[in-house]
Chain A
Amino acid sequence: MRIYIGILIILMLLSLVSPIQSITYAKELIIKDELKFEFWSLPWFPQSDKAAELIVKQLEKIGIKLELRRLESSIMYPRIQKFDFEAYALATSQSPNPLSMLDSFTSKWAKPDIGAFWGPLEDPEFDELINKIRTTTDPNELKRLVKEAQRRIAFESGFIPIYLTQSVKVIRAEWKNYTVMTGGLLEVFDIWSILYMYKSDKPEENVFKIAFPSDVLSLNPFTAVDLRSIWIINLIYDPLVRVDPEFNVVPWLAESWEVSDDGKVYTFKLRKNVKWHDGTPFTADDVVFTFTEGIKQETQRFVGLKDIIESVEKVDDYTVRFVLKNPYPFFLIDLATGYYYIAPKHIAGELDLTQWDNKNPIGTGPFRFVERTVGEFIVLQKNDDFWMAGVPKITRIIMKVIPEAESRFLAIKKGEVDTERYDTAITLVKQAEEDPNLNVVTAPGLWLIYIAFNTVNHFYDPKVFQAIHYAIDRQEIVEKANGGFGYPVYTVLNRFWNGDLAAEDIVFEYDPDKAAKLLEEAGWVDVDGDGVREYVGEKKREEEKPVETVVKTETVMVTETPEAATKTVTVVETVVKTVREVETKVETVTQAAGVSGGVVTGLIVVIVVLLGIIVFMASRMRRTASS
């Protein structure tokens, strides 16, 4: 008896020590027969694709089978967003605003098709926690809550961070005086480099040429949703505030600001010497217009502020008051890093902002727009009337589209361009290091490589996710998948982007034995000896229904005689089977060719239609010729 009490006490003490034991899960388990998952990866993103390959091998050791399939993004993303997937490896871009990551685990993202990329926790208590974070102004309390949220995500969600990429950029050595910020050289938050960079004392020689992998899609600051477009917009337009190289919020178009005691009213004093590129003075009207209409017309960039901003009012020509719905301590960092650029009211005032093509952008920024050849070039020129004195040093920026990574690198080597927009391929870095004309600039990168499981409707067992955390050797992945350019990451926030808000005490050291033990505890044992663990626990709560049965019953219902019914069933089965086979074949072929399904299907259709046109034309020619 005493022994039992002793054990009980020890267990209770243990439960206090180990954080895993103390969690009560809000979401019900979703169990499957064995730990076998279809695992998707994006073929053109080597940082995550190579990691995916390694993860498959590492998890195989503890009896979790991932079947790797490579899918094109246009196929993969919509299916992920419909929660029609099992597991995948991808990258997500980082932001200094911790809420952008934390919020994606609240219940509102559990609906299909709203753009969710991983299963949220689906716990009202967690939603409440995030709401509290949203409105807490006390920094210490905030830190505690943010860490609590990270802990819950780390121990309960199917989102498993692997590593943060290290940005590696190659730039021609004659360029001087750039800053290196988290995110990488010349990333969008880094306006400082582009303002102060130069290569010569003669202004006319300071032409900066940058290669993009594809053209920018939109120069409309309200609707641009890709970082390529925002990179250009960022040079033409100004936000109210920006971040300095240490990610502190600093004045920009707003000279200074005051926050009311309740944290709900922000009053900005605007700069008085600012002019639009067409000479019109910049005033409070432009700011009021941008935020009011941007939100009202549901533009992609501003619609997210709908739940935050109550109203934006003009106090006088150079003072603007933002009234918030609730206190929001991240308002300033959000304004500085959320890509909210001020647009000219005298140009866009009467327009449908969602359809505005903005062919000749007029901003207040350091560079003015000169010309653009869609698909090839954009030319910007120094704004001589820029409100900040003495900058920019660069007189002209030319963006050229060069689709192939190798060609971009060759162009830099030859000096046709100075640098490229995205990271240089790891395979080329060594060549760059050996070239005296090139500098290699590294910094903590923009991309968090992670794997995610579909916890919404496919599989949910936090213990298995814990085991996976321990079974992944992150250091090995960084070394092998990205040539050592990266940092292992264990939680959704990390110190590079979120400073001391990151819960650095949560670490899952590589420990496959611990992982195996966790799995056994949770009822996962390899019963049939095939190397994949089966479930032997008792908490079986949900059975998966095969899709085929649904098809069959529907067909049976419409057919009348039993014979006919069986016939149809066979036919349907055969059809279903054939379709499957064809699908698998196409996939195998495309995988072998290193191209992914979407492109190939698309191109096949294109080619078939083209052939059709040609045959049609040819047959007509023949007919007319023979008659």
Chain B
Amino acid sequence: MSFASYILKKVSEAIITIFIAVTLAFFLFRFLPGDPTAVFLDVRLTPEAKLALQKQFGLDKPLYEQYFLFIYNLLQGNLGYSFAYRGMPVSELIFGPKLVNTLVLMGSGMVIGAVLSTILGLIVGWKRGSILDRFLTSASYALSSAPIFWIGLLVLLVLGSYLNLIPMGGTLSIDALYADPLTRALNYLHHLVGPLIVIVLYFLPIYMLYVRNTIVSLLGEPFVELLKAKGLSSKTIVIGHLSKYALLTSITLLAVQSPLLVTGAIITETVFGWNGIGLLLYESVLKSDYPVVQGIFIITIAIVVVANLLADIAYAYIDPRIRRG
């Protein structure tokens, strides 16, 4: 198979994958119980208004017609309009401050989590069986089995309410709205602390255990024995040689979880009122705001598929054997 036809094959596969995923997303949410016109209850709607609302949402049409309309719009790059935020294009809702907030939170959280866990994983892997190892490993199991909303509430309660160290929610204080850019940025970072701690605590234990296991399995390898025989100190072996493997494990994990960059941590964002995509997703599911939920999924799916496609092509470029399949 030539390189060109290999790419063609991969691209068409990617398109089919996206199409299937998009179709699934469309029907999945419509089969959920819930009625998008029923979320507004503050003001009672007259029967006429309710029917008009259904008509404007396109919900009076049969499902297949709604589906074809959705695909037609999608092909034109139109993700539709939010039901809840009346008249607001979904793309505008997603590609705005909310996406930036999520990228900042998840990006920094994942990187800090990965770096910390690599270091800790290296240490406890090398010193396996020590008190530190036993403590950190069991702490990791405890942390990773604790529900994330509970950790979030605990952080909020202790740091926010009792110690008054972090703000109670949101991304900015009112007073910072009209402050100079530096104060504004600092205020933003101050708001970031709480959710960031939770995200790091979420990634840290899982990554650390992975790294630790990698190191433990490497310790039995002949090359480590050789390094020891060569008279290298533990420090040099760990930092100079084993750290590369540990880093590799972390990076692989990061890549696998990259969709979280966009979808955000739903629960953490909700607990801290962090105005990101996760909170948007949560609210939209609550309000049966189908277009927004679909939009977020389509974008997530697209990112995953395209990332995979690029990886496939890159691998094939480097290693011709893959092309032959």
**A: which residues have CB within 8 A of B?**
72-75, 77-78, 81, 92-93, 100, 104, 108-109, 111, 113-117, 209, 214-215, 217-218, 220, 223-228, 230, 298-301, 303-304, 306, 339, 354-358, 373-377, 379, 398, 400-404, 407, 410-411, 416-417, 597-599, 601-603, 605-606, 609-610, 613-614, 616-618, 620-621, 624-625, 627
A311 to B39, CA, bound (A): 32
Contact of B170 among A223, A401, A620 (CB under 8 A): A401
| B273 lies within 8 A of A403 (CB) | yes
Q: Known: A74-B33, A77-B38. Contact between A114 and B47, CB under 8 A? A: yes
Question: In the complex, which residues of chain A have a beta carbon less than 8 angstroms from the beta carbon of B172?
Answer: 376-377
Residues in chain B near residue A209, CB distance under 8 A: 174
Does B312 belong to the interface (CB within 8 Å)? yes
A613 & B87 in contact (Cβ 8 Å cutoff): no
Is A621 a contact partner of B252 (Cβ separation < 8 A)? yes
Contacts of A93 in B (CB 8 A): 42-44
Q: Is there an interface contact between A624 and B87, defined as CB atoms closer than 8 Å?
A: no
A11 smallest CB distance to B (angstroms): 42
| A373 and B97 within 8 A (CB) | yes
Residues of A contacting B56 in the complex (Cβ-Cβ under 8 angstroms)? 298, 354-355
Interface 1/0s, chain B 77-104, versus A by CB < 8 A?
A: 0000100111111000100111000000
Given contacts A93-B44, A115-B50, A377-B174, 11 further A-B contacts (CB under 8 A): A93-B42, A93-B43, A115-B49, A117-B44, A217-B85, A220-B87, A227-B42, A598-B34, A601-B32, A614-B259, A627-B319
Contact for B35 among A78, A601, A627, CB less than 8 A? A78
B266→A606 contact, CB < 8 A = yes
Which one, B67-75, B129-137, B204-212, B274-282, is touching chain A? B274-282
CB of A111 to closest CB in B, whole Å: 8
B266: A residues at CB distance < 8 A: 603, 606
Q: How far is the CA of A74 from the CA of B40 in the complex (A)?
A: 10
Tell me, yes or no, whether B154 is within 8 Å of chain A by CB.
no
In the bound complex, do residue B173 and residue A298 qualify as a contact, i.e. CB atoms below 8 Å apart?
Answer: no
Is B169's CB within 8 Å of the partner chain A?
A: yes
Complex CA gap A223/B41 in Å reads: 14
B51 close to chain A: CB less than 8 A: yes
Task: List, in ascending order, chain B residues with CB within 8 A of A72's CB.
Answer: 286
Q: List chain A residues, Cβ under 8 A from B37.
A: 115
Asked whether B285 lies within 8 Å of A624 as measured between CB atoms, the reply is no
Q: Establish whether residues B256 and A614, one from each chain, have CB atoms under 8 Å apart when the complex forms.
A: yes
What residues on B are CB-neighbors of A609 within 8 Å?
24-25, 28, 297
Whole-angstrom distance between the alpha carbons of A313 and B160 in the complex?
59
Residues of A within 8 A of B24 (CB): 609
Contacts of B93 in A (CB 8 A): 374
Instruction: Find A303's partner among B49, B96, B319 (CB 8 Å cutoff).
Output: B49
Q: Which of A78, A214, A379 contacts B34 (CB 8 A)?
A: A78
Per the bound structure, the CA–CA distance linking A423 and B129 in Å amounts to 56
| Docked-complex contact B87 and A226, CB < 8 angstroms | no
Q: Could you say which of B107-115, B119-127, B138-146, B300-308 contacts chain A? A: B300-308
Nearest 5 CB-CB pairings of A with B: A357-B87, A114-B47, A78-B35, A602-B285, A227-B42
Distance between A283 CB and nearest chain B CB, rounded to angstroms: 26
CB-nearest residue of chain B to A356? B87
**Are A410 and B168 interface neighbours, CB within 8 A?**
yes
Pick from A116, A220, A230, A617: contact of B86, CB below 8 A: A220
List B contacts of A306 (CB < 8 A).
Answer: 48
A357 proximity list for chain B (CB < 8 A): 86-89
Are A224 and B86 neighbours in the complex by a CB distance under 8 Å? yes
B256 touches A374 (CB 8 A): no
Between A and B, 10 residue pairs with Cβ closer than 8 Å are A74-B286, A77-B35, A93-B42, A223-B87, A224-B86, A300-B52, A339-B43, A403-B273, A609-B25, A614-B256
Chain B, interface size category, equals 35 or more
Q: Identify which of residues 12-65 in chain B touch chain A, using a CB-to-CB cut-off of 8 Å.
A: 24-25, 28-29, 32-35, 37-53, 55-56
**Does B268 sit at the interface, judged by CB under 8 A?**
no
Q: Which residue of A lies closest to B55 (CB)?
A: A298
Known contacts A401-B170, A402-B170: A217-B308 contact under CB 8 Å: no
B255 at interface, CB cutoff 8 A: yes
Return A120 CB to nearest CB of chain B, in Å: 11
Is B232 an interface residue, CB under 8 A from the partner? no
Find out whether the CB atom of B48 lies under 8 angstroms from the CB atom of A217. no
**Contact of A605 with B168 in the complex, beta carbons under 8 Å:** no
Q: How far is the CB of B312 from chain A (nearest CB, A)?
A: 7
Contact A115 B47, beta carbon cutoff 8 Å: yes
Interface residues of B in 289-318 (CB under 8 A from A): 297, 300-301, 304, 307-308, 311-312, 315
Q: CB within 8 Å of A: which of B152-207?
A: 161, 168-175, 177
- Taken together as a complex, chains A and B put the C-alpha atoms of A288 and B308 apart, in Å, by 57
Instruction: Give complex CA distance A226, B283 in Å.
Output: 15
Cα distance, A609 to B307, chains bound together (Å):
18
Pairwise interchain contact B38-A74, C-beta atoms closer than 8 A: yes
A407 to B50 Cα, complex, angstroms: 34
Cα separation A32 to B20 with both chains bound (whole Å): 48
A119 to B: closest C-beta gap in Å: 15
Distance in Å: Cβ of A482 to nearest Cβ of chain B: 19
Q: Is B239 an interface residue when CB atoms closer than 8 A count as contact?
A: no
Contact B169 A613 (CB under 8 A): no
Task: Say yes or no: is B117 at the interface (Cβ < 8 Å to chain A).
Answer: no
CB neighbours (8 Å) of B252 from chain A are: 621, 625
B8 at the A interface (CB under 8 A)? no
Q: Is the CB of A627 within 8 A of B322?
A: yes
Interchain CB contact under 8 A, B34 and A358? no
The reply to whether A74 and B88 form a contact with Cβ atoms under 8 Å apart is: no
- Which residues of chain B come closer than 8 Å to A355, judged between CB atoms? 56, 81, 86-87
A226/B174 in contact, CB under 8 A: no
Q: Are B283 and A214 in contact (CB under 8 A)?
A: yes
In the assembled complex, which residues on chain A have CB atoms less than 8 Å from the CB atom of B236?
A: none
Decide yes or no whether B250 CB sits under 8 A from chain A.
no
Residues of A within 8 A of B312 (CB): 624
Query: A226 to B315, alpha carbons, bound, how many Å?
Result: 53
Assembled-state Cα–Cα distance A377/B174 (Å): 8
Question: Is B234 part of the binding interface, using a Cβ–Cβ cutoff of 8 Å?
Answer: no
Across-interface contacts of A109 in B (CB, < 8 A): 47
Residue of B nearest to A339 (CB): B43
Task: Let me know if B33 and A598 touch, CB within 8 A.
Answer: yes
A466 to B47, CA, bound (A): 29
Residues of B within 8 A of A410 (CB): 161, 168
Chain A residue nearest to B175 (CB atoms) is A416
Is A401 a contact partner of B273 (Cβ separation < 8 A)? yes
| Contact status B34-A300, CB under 8 Å | no
Q: List the B side residues contacting A601 at CB < 8 Å.
A: 32-33
Contact: A606 with B38, CB < 8 Å?
A: no
Do the beta carbons of A230 and B43 come within 8 Å of each other? yes
Q: Are A228 and B42 in contact (CB under 8 A)?
A: yes
| Complex: A230 Cα to B42 Cα, angstroms | 10
Q: Kindly list chain A residues whose C-beta atoms are within 8 Å of the C-beta of B319.
A: 627
Q: Within the complex, which residue of B55, B96, B288, B301 is in contact with A74, where a contact is CB–CB below 8 Å?
A: B288
**CA of A407 to CA of B272 in the docked complex: distance in angstroms?**
10
Q: Hey, which chain A residues are within 8 Å of B304, CB to CB?
A: 613, 616-617
Q: For B252, give the chain A residue with the smallest CB separation.
A: A621
Q: Is the CB of B49 within 8 A of A610?
A: no
CA distance A357 to B86 in the complex (A): 7
Given A303-B52, A357-B86: A407 in contact with B169 (beta carbons within 8 A) = yes
For the complex formed, measure the closest distance between the CB of B211 and the CB atoms of chain A, giving whole angstroms: 17
